[in-house]
Amino acid sequence: MCDTFVALANSTADGSVIFGKNSDREPNEAHELVLIPRAHHQNGEKVSCTYIELPQVRDTNAVLLSKPFWIWGAEMGANEHGLVIGNEAVFTKVPYEKEPGLIGMDFLRLALERTSSANEALALMIDLLETYGQGGNCGFKHSMFYHNGFLIADPQEAWVFETAGKHWAAERVKDSRSISNVISIGSSWDFASDDLVTYAIDKGWCRNKDDFDFSRCYSDLIYTKFSDGHHRLCRTTELLSSHIGEIDVPFAMAVLRDHGPDTDEDWQPGKGIFGAEICMHASFGPVRGSQTTGSMVSHLKPGLHTHWVTGTAATCTSIFKPVWIDTGLPEIGPAPDGTYDEATLWWRHENLHREILRDYSTRIKPVELDRKSIEKTFTQEANALTGEMKSLRKALSQSCFDRAQEAEADWLKVLKDSPINHHRSVLDKHAWEKFDRQADRL
């Protein structure tokens, strides 16, 4: 389960475009940061997506991906032109294709590699959907099949693109917009597949064209309900709409860390077996199997596109660091997988994340205060640089990753020596012990 949002120039404090996304996956489904340079390809080459091959294009863009380690595509990413895309699982009445095909994350990466604007990306993704459809398992340890929604943005505009099988609708964003694990387009849109309405009428989901609503007619009510997507969509929409004209990068980061309007200083992420918030925490129960495993905020200003990434899970316990595509990723160590490996950025952070969970309400407070100070420094340093300062931006990116690692190591050392003041629930403790065993993190 995930959440994605965008604020266009008429909604931000500095007239930029700001994009944000949390990727919610299985707790041990390590998230990987990848930067792939621009490339030239030979005629007749193929590209191997997660499950199938497609004809390769002559030239592909440089792309930054934040992705589940085992998938070719990505949950979120950006390219050298300032195009950013995030995807969401949506659950529909249209039967899922379970044979290997293109999955939503493949659509996202193909669009980033092959197009330079939101308009171009939308057109390509429509063509890919109508040509190949969508299908294949999207789950790591547990098989999961779904359709996809996308938020596509560039420094000038943004689109919501939502699908159900080969059926789709697209809506142009006017100011700010968010999407979640629900079809959010209703009875109006800018473009749609030719059979979007007639298919629903034929299936008996509505009486006629005037009665049609994409969300109401196509949504699978059971899976949509238990994903809690409507609740999270309302929350992101409320947060954005109440800050129109004031939205900046720190605010976007705060949205991705939101635990809901009723959070107090005693809030515990492992409480209950139902419910989900923007900053997702896994726990015990069949509908609490998802965890925020990676986060990204993109700040798209003319001539300079800064991408703030965690590369780690649990946004509330992570530090956002700046990355610029033209400078490359800093040295962050080997790629992670689904087994514990302290040498990797993602799993090293899990030592801190899972230590905080032992007494969240107590242990998050000093971490939160320090994290705010660190990120304030990082954003001030990044804002002081211009697009021409490539070597300085490269050095700053590496420095921020290094300083974040030092801070997390210090936090972990202190927490390991601190007492437990508030014991977590037995069910939550049991769930995370199981996650640890599955990852050989003993």
Secondary structure of residue 272 in the 3-state scheme: coil
For 142, other C-beta atoms within 10 Å of its C-beta total 9
Q: Catalytic residue at 400?
A: no
- From the centroid of its chain, how far is CA 397? 21
Residue 1's pLDDT is 76
Q: Which domains can be identified in the chain, with CATH numbers?
A: 3-438 (3.60.60.10)
Residue identified by tokens 């697209």 is 170
DSSP letters along 274-339, please? S---SS----SSTT---EEEEEEEEEEETTEEEEEE--SS-GGG---EEE-GGG------SPP-SS
Q: Are 294 and 317 in contact (CB under 8 A)?
A: no
Residue 223's pLDDT is 83
Of 2, 217, 279, 316, which is the active-site residue?
2
Low-confidence ranges of the chain (pLDDT < 50): none
Q: Of all residues in the chain, what percent carry a pLDDT higher than 90? A: 93
Distances (CA, A) of 135 to 96, 145, 167, 169: 7, 8, 13, 18
Write the CB contacts of 328 (distance below 8 Å, at least 6 apart in sequence): 35, 37, 394
What are the tens digits of pLDDT across the range 282-301? 999 888 999 999 999 999 99
Residue 167's pLDDT is 98
Q: Are 35 and 309 in contact (CB under 8 A)?
A: no
